[in-house]
């Protein structure tokens, strides 16, 4: 790990949400995506599809951050 990576890891531990906080947010993310996908199914539109795509990308980033936090905390 470079000194920059080490500094980033320290900052993340100090200022980022811990793994448990991130874990507790997962059902909310899932519920939001479920609602949006049901809306897309019920009333298809390009705008709704683009919104879902953007939110799926956000969910992907949230899960990647969670995985990084788990690794930093030595979990899993």
Task: Answer yes or no: is pLDDT of 1 > 90.
Answer: no
Quote the pLDDT of residue 71.
93
pLDDT at 51: 97
Q: Is the pLDDT of residue 69 over 80?
A: yes
Distance CA 57, CA 11 (A): 24
Helix (H) or strand (E) holding 60: helix 46-72
> 13-67: per-residue pLDDT in tens?
677 899 999 999 999 999 999 999 999 999 999 999 999 999 999 999 999 999 9
User: According to the model, what pLDDT value does residue 44 have?
Assistant: 98
């Amino acid at each position: 790990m470079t000194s920059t990576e080490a500094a980033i890891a320290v900052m993340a531990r100090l200022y980022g949400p811990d793994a448990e906080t991130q874990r507790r947010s997962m059902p909310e993310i899932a519920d939001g995506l479920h609602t949006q996908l049901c809306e897309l199914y019920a009333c298809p539109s390009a705008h709704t599809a683009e919104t879902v795509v953007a939110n799926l990308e956000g969910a992907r980033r949230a899960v990647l951050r969670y995985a990084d936090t788990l690794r930093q905390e030595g979990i899993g």
